[in-house]
Amino acid sequence: LILTRHGDSIWNGKETFTGWTDVPLSPIGEQEAIRTGQLLTQHTSGVVIDALFTSTLSRAKMTAHHYQVPRQYLIDHRLNERHYGALQGLVKSDAELGLFGHSPSEVLEWRRSWHAVPPLLDEEDPRRLEELRLYGNLCDGVQNVPRGESLAMVASERIRPFLKDRLTPLLDKGGTALIVAHANSLRALIGHDSAALRKLEAMKIPTASPLVL
């Protein structure tokens, strides 16, 4: 199993809460993806990637484009980044300074805690309406499209079903999988056990850096 976060996006450099906002890679991110693809090719010579899984978001799909061609290329919305609710589009440092009405401790808890849920996206927010249009069918109904998520919600409602339905059956057969996803969906994926959970607060996942398990 090979895990990697997408390359640098145009909002990563601005330190902006991105979540389900579909932003592309930055020029730096494109180069990161190319270099990582070359690195993976060198170090997995002779290894067949049975399935490459990526989220629906452009920054993950653009990164995956530069990696080894797999036997199967599968897009799954359950690998999307954590939904940051009403924080999406806000600059993190501004939010931490209280410019949007939230205390620094609240913002830090929303960012790093396992159970904290950020302020939810309003039902009438244009961003919400667009997400309902894009994800209503994928989520088996608009009522299942999140308005904001904790890491625990990402793990239990998205990642755990993904593991059961898609990943575990492949690995149990001896297959090799490459997952290109996001900082928080990867945190949820590798942080489901208690030891990893204790380290979660300090976990920083760099862009376009593969982790082989």
Could you give the C-alpha distances from 161 to 34, 82, 88, in angstroms and in order?
Answer: 31, 15, 25
Number of Cα atoms under 13 Å in the Cβ half of residue 153: 18
- 43 carries a ligand binding annotation: no
Q: Is 192 annotated as catalytic?
A: no
Question: Is 75 one of the annotated binding-site residues?
Answer: no
| SS3 assignment for 29-70 | HHHHHHHHHHHHHHHCCCCCCCEEEECCCHHHHHHHCCCCCC
The answer to whether 71 is a known ligand-binding residue is no
56 is in an annotated binding site: no
Residue 187 in marked binding region: no
Tokens 């209280």 found at: 98
Q: Which of 30, 81, 96, 131 is catalytic?
A: 81
Would you say 94 is a known binding-site residue? no
Whether 6 sits among the annotated catalytic residues: the reply is yes
C-alpha 11/C-alpha 18 separation (Å) is 7
Q: How far apart are the C-alpha atoms of 195 and 96, rounded to whole Å?
A: 28
Q: Is 5 annotated as a binding residue?
A: yes
First to last CA, the chain: 5
Query: Is 173 assigned to a binding site?
Result: no
The annotation status of 112 as a binding-site residue, yes or no, is yes
Kindly state the tokens that stand for 206: 């760099």
Among candidate residues 6, 66, 102, 182, the one labeled active-site is 6
Output the known binding site for substrate. Answer: 5-12, 18-19, 59, 81-84, 92, 111-112
Output the known binding site. Answer: 5-12, 18-19, 59, 81-84, 92, 111-112
**Residues carrying an active site annotation:** 6, 81
